[in-house]
């Protein structure tokens, strides 16, 4: 993972941790928001709204079911923010 | 301006939980300014003992949140209406973050809510807002999430 990628991943981890009210280090790239961190559909919408504001992007709500862990969130944001890596 | 009768045609809430009296300004998709007058005859003050200090008559924080949230709901519903969309199902207050209470409202005060849209989608809305009494800011909310849920889903109970 490049430095840029890892910085972005940590930025996303902070957002997710804040919404899910857990410590950032508890969230790994593959820990499941619902099964491992007690998230629900409302929290997922909050995460999406925050990401949109932070990166000034628009993510369709149809992407929500995909965003089940940090890795998946990264991929979705990458797509809509046009990140190269 | 929207009066109480107009609000009953927009919000599903009714007496005594309809917590917005009047809308002073509205820019669909952007912001709303709405008021709620607090009176000594509010149901929440019923049955209080004699001899209590003025602080006992501070309007409850939970109802300030509700009132501010309803102002946001008016904004959302009017925005949908202006766009020719209908919001299906029931509006649910999903989350409030960074809520800060800086003062209180007492019988005789008029609360003025100013709510601004952060993001609006078909089934969810994120807003932030402030509540004022005259030139005193009594509450601030950094982020409020509301969602529209199908009635069938709500009747079925939590799905996780």
Q: Above 90 in pLDDT, residue A27?
A: yes
**In chain B, alpha helices (H):** 4-8, 61-82, 151-155
Q: Tell me which residue in A42, A52, A53 faces B95 most closely, judged by beta carbons.
A: A42
Query: d(Cα B66, Cα B43) in Å, to the nearest integer?
Result: 15
ipTM above 0.85, yes or no: no
- How many angstroms separate the CA atoms of B33 and A11, rounded? 34
Please state, in angstroms and rounded to a whole number, the distance separating the CA atoms of residues B74 and B129: 13
Classify B48 as helix, strand or coil: coil
In whole angstroms, how large is the CA radius of gyration of chain B? 16
Q: Is the pLDDT of residue A16 over 80?
A: yes
A45/B122 touch (CB, cutoff 8 Å), yes or no: no
Crossing angle of the two packed helices A41-55 and A3-20, in degrees rounded to 10: 140
Sign of CA dihedral B73, A34, B99, A8: negative
Residue of A34, A42, A53 with shortest CB distance to B145: A42
A52 to chain B, any CB pair closer than 8 A? The answer is: yes
Share of chain A above pLDDT 70, in %: 100
Is B145–A61 a contact, with Cβ atoms under 8 angstroms apart? Answer: no
Cα gap B70→B94, rounded to integer Å = 13
| Nearest beta carbon to residue A61 from set B94, B118, B121 | B121
| Per-residue pLDDT tens over the stretch B38-66 | 999 999 999 999 999 999 999 999 999 99
Residue A67 in contact with residue A29, Cβ under 8 Å? no
Q: Is B118 helix (H, G, I), strand (E, B) or coil?
A: strand
Best CA proximity match to B6, nearest among B17, B18, B16: B18
Per-residue model confidence as pLDDT tens digits over B120-149: 888 899 999 999 999 999 999 999 999 988
Per-residue pLDDT band at B158 (split at 50, 70, 90): low
**Among A27-31, A37-41, B86-90, B136-140, where is mean pLDDT lowest?**
B86-90
Cβ pair B107, B37 in contact under 8 A:
no
Q: Which residues of A touch B124 (CB under 8 A)?
A: 45, 49, 61
Which letter, b or e, does each residue of B8-19 get, where b requires 16 or more Cβ atoms within 10 Å of its Cβ? eebbebeeeebb
- Residue of chain B whose alpha carbon sits nearest to that of A18: B97
Q: Which residues of A20-58 are buried (b: 16+ CB within 10 A; e: fewer)?
A: bebeeeebeeebebeebbebebbbbbbbbbbbbeebeee
What is the pLDDT, as a whole number, of residue A52?
94
Check B160 against A40: CB less than 8 A apart.
yes
**DSSP state letters, B62-101:** HHHHHHHHHHHHHHHHHHHHHTT----SEEEEEEEEEEEE
Q: Is A45 on the interface with B (CB under 8 A)?
A: yes
What pLDDT sits at residue B159? 57
Average pLDDT, chain B: 93
Q: Rounded to whole angstroms, how far apart are CA atoms B44 and B48?
A: 9
> What whole-number distance in Å separates Cα of residue B160 and Cα of residue A63?
18
Average pLDDT over residues A1-27: 94
Give the integer Cα–Cα distance in Å for B61 and B97: 14
d(C-alpha B130, C-alpha B82), whole Å: 24
Task: Please tell me the predicted confidence (pLDDT) of residue A51.
Answer: 95
Percent of chain B with pLDDT over 90: 81
For residue B146, the chain A residue with the least C-alpha distance is A42
**B94 to chain A, minimum CA–CA distance in Å?**
6
Q: What is the pTM of this model?
A: 0.88
Which residues of chain B lie closer than 8 angstroms to A40, CB-CB? 160
Tell whether the model's pLDDT for residue A76 goes beyond 60: yes
CA B135 to chain A, closest CA, distance in angstroms equals 30
């Amino acid at each position: 993972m490049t430095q840029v990628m890892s910085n972005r991943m940590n930025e996303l981890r902070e957002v997710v941790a804040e919404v899910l009210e857990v410590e950032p280090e508890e969230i790994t790239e593959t820990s499941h928001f619902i099964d491992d961190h007690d998230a629900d559909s409302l929290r997922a919408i909050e995460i999406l709204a925050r990401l949109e504001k932070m990166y000034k992007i628009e993510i369709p709500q149809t992407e929500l079911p995909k965003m089940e862990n940090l890795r998946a969130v990264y991929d979705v944001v990458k797509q809509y923010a046009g990140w190269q890596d | 301006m929207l009066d109480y009768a107009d609000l009953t045609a927009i919000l599903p809430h009714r007496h005594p939980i309809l917590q917005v009296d009047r809308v002073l300004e509205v820019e669909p998709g952007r912001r709303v300014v709405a008021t709620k007058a607090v009176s000594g005859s509010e149901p929440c003050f019923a049955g209080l003992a004699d001899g209590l200090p003025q602080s006992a008559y501070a309007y409850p924080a939970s109802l300030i949140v509700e009132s501010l949230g309803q102002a946001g709901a008016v904004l959302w519903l009017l925005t949908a209406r202006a766009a020719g969309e209908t919001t299906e199902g029931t509006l649910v207050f999903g989350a409030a973050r960074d809520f800060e209470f800086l003062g209180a409202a007492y019988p005789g005060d008029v609360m003025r809510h100013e709510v601004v849209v952060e993001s609006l989608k078909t089934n969810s809305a994120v807003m932030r807002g402030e509540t004022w009494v005259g030139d005193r800011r009594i509450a601030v909310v950094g982020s409020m999430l509301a969602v529209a849920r199908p009635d069938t889903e709500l009747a079925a109970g939590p799905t996780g």
